[in-house]
Chains A and B, each alone.
Chain A
Amino acid sequence: MRRVVITGAGTMNPLGTDIASTFEAFREGRCGIGPLDIKDVDRLSIQIGGQIKGYEEASHFNRQQLALYDRFTQFALLAARQAISQSGLTFSGELADRSGVVLGTSGGGLTTQDENYRAVYEEGKNRVHPFIVPRLMNNAAASHVSIEWNLRGPTFTVATACASSNHAMGQAFNMVRSGMSKVMITGGSEAMLCFGGIKAWEGLRVMSKDACRPFSATRNGMVQGEGAAVYVFEDYEHAVARGADILCEVAGFAMSSDASDIVTPSKQGAARAIAGAVKDAGVALDSVGYINAHGTGTAANDKTECAAVADVFGHHADHLMMSSTKSMHGHLIGGTGAVELLACIMALKDGVIAPTIGYEEADPECAMDVVPNEARDAKVDVVLSNAFAFGGLNAVLALRNLN
């Protein structure tokens, strides 16, 4: 099997519009969640979210592009541009034919759907723009990244709700590891902060009206966010041969299905994915220093996740750090694992652990070191990123420093 490394990263998220500004926000424990600025917000009972503030689509894309790019595609393209530029790769010949794109998303072009349902149902229009279908389709972002950078190999979209990005990156990892591709562009994107996107979530009654406070006894639910993160996963020898800067190694991946309940998480399902990722990475359990938690801030997730980690790691659970950066950027649903992987890369590269902000009071059912409120300097060699989706689908990635 081939070794897989990350040679480029890019992002658009509520904390920053590139890697440097996002890392700075993580270090400062900054909150990117605030009042939502969307149409008909007064008819929502949930009026906060992690929006990318000050984003002007017209300053990045021309009129023809915007006719085809939903907001989730725009975020994916901007993040991919940063990542591919950092990697220094250009794609032609055999490399182009074998390099592809695997992106996660849950809602795809949900904002496009929302706007056009509004036009035909509420405003009574009988005609919509000719490109609504290619704009709203879930694979639009992956296809546009493929088109923009001449990536002509395996390209598709993965949709597993809140685990979409981790499943996508796990797929890309295994494609490079198996030798199928030398380079894969991967990550995820989501732009669900529109009236219908939030109204649907309100129905489940799991949303907070004021803040996302994972693991805190005072938590009262999740908060949605939007954005993307995209990475260049590359064959290690290919990267070394061309003298690329390597951010870290992708060491392992595992996935599991709870096969129990459509929304309530299972400790066993989560534990199997966590233990599986460590095993797949071929590292010892006690080498894991940090876990970026799924940590949604709901009662059900947080205690189940802590119980799963305790089950897998035993006594070592008391010695590892686990934070939820959703407290800062919100839950990016299908894009969340991609943005959260940034905290893992920062931990490995910079030796800084992103905090769980909004932490107010210990919960005995979440008795872990959640790196409360302030970032911490710590040297870690192996880190995990958890994602546990509705539908009971779990996906965990393991990263490590390249020695």
Chain B
Amino acid sequence: MSIKEQVIAIIAEQAMLEPSDVKMEHTLADLGIDSLGLVESIFAIEESFDITVPFNANDPTESDFDISSIASIVDAVDKLKTEQSS
């Protein structure tokens, strides 16, 4: 699976949707994922890709990890994976 497919699978599972229902332009709110769901999704991403995601639930917008859409999450994971595998 590509990074994109894996991220979509994680988000879909959290949102209790089929992966085909998750679109790149969706926000987490669109998919009904709340703050607790977000923290769980980030945990799943860290475990799946063996990376550490910089994220503080007190102020998600201040974190380096852009969660504004599925596309931005895929990009951020891609970037972290490159950085942290080197």
**Contacts from A to B (Cβ < 8 Å):** 45, 203-206, 208, 219-221, 262-264, 298-300
Complex: chain A residue closest to B35, CB-CB: A264
Cα–Cα distance between A262 and B39 once the two chains are bound (Å): 14
B36 with A298: CB separation less than 8 A: no
Complex: chain A residue closest to B57, CB-CB: A205
B55 with A205: CB separation less than 8 A: yes
A-side contacts of B55, CB under 8 Å: 205
Closest CB-CB distance, A46 to chain B, in whole Å? 11
A263 with B36: CB separation less than 8 A: yes
Given contacts A263-B36, A264-B35, contact A203 B58 (CB under 8 A): no
Interface residue count on the B side (C-beta < 8 Å) = 12
Complex: chain A residue closest to B40, CB-CB: A203
Closest CB-CB distance, B2 to chain A, in whole Å? 26
A-side contacts of B59, CB under 8 Å: 220, 299
B58 with A221: CB separation less than 8 A: yes
**Contacts from B to A (Cβ < 8 Å):** 35-36, 39, 42-43, 52, 55-59, 62
Given contacts A263-B36, A264-B35, contact A220 B43 (CB under 8 A): no
A206 with B58: CB separation less than 8 A: yes
Complex: chain A residue closest to B36, CB-CB: A263
Cα–Cα distance between A104 and B11 once the two chains are bound (Å): 39
Partner of A206, one of B42, B43, B57: B57
B-side contacts of A299, CB under 8 Å: 57-59
A-side contacts of B35, CB under 8 Å: 264
Given A205-B39, A264-B36, A300-B58, 18 more pairs with CB closer than 8 A: A45-B52, A203-B39, A204-B39, A205-B42, A205-B56, A205-B57, A206-B56, A206-B57, A208-B56, A208-B58, A220-B56, A220-B58, A221-B57, A221-B58, A264-B35, A298-B57, A299-B57, A299-B59
A203 with B56: CB separation less than 8 A: no
B-side contacts of A263, CB under 8 Å: 36
Cα–Cα distance between A310 and B86 once the two chains are bound (Å): 51
B-side contacts of A264, CB under 8 Å: 35-36
A-B contact pairs, 10 of them (CB 8 A): A45-B52, A204-B39, A205-B57, A208-B58, A220-B59, A221-B57, A264-B35, A298-B57, A299-B57, A300-B58
B-side contacts of A208, CB under 8 Å: 56, 58
Cα–Cα distance between A300 and B62 once the two chains are bound (Å): 15
Cα–Cα distance between A208 and B57 once the two chains are bound (Å): 10
A298 with B58: CB separation less than 8 A: yes
B-side contacts of A45, CB under 8 Å: 52
A-side contacts of B43, CB under 8 Å: 203
Closest CB-CB distance, B57 to chain A, in whole Å? 4
Cα–Cα distance between A186 and B52 once the two chains are bound (Å): 42
Closest CB-CB distance, B76 to chain A, in whole Å? 15
B-side contacts of A300, CB under 8 Å: 58
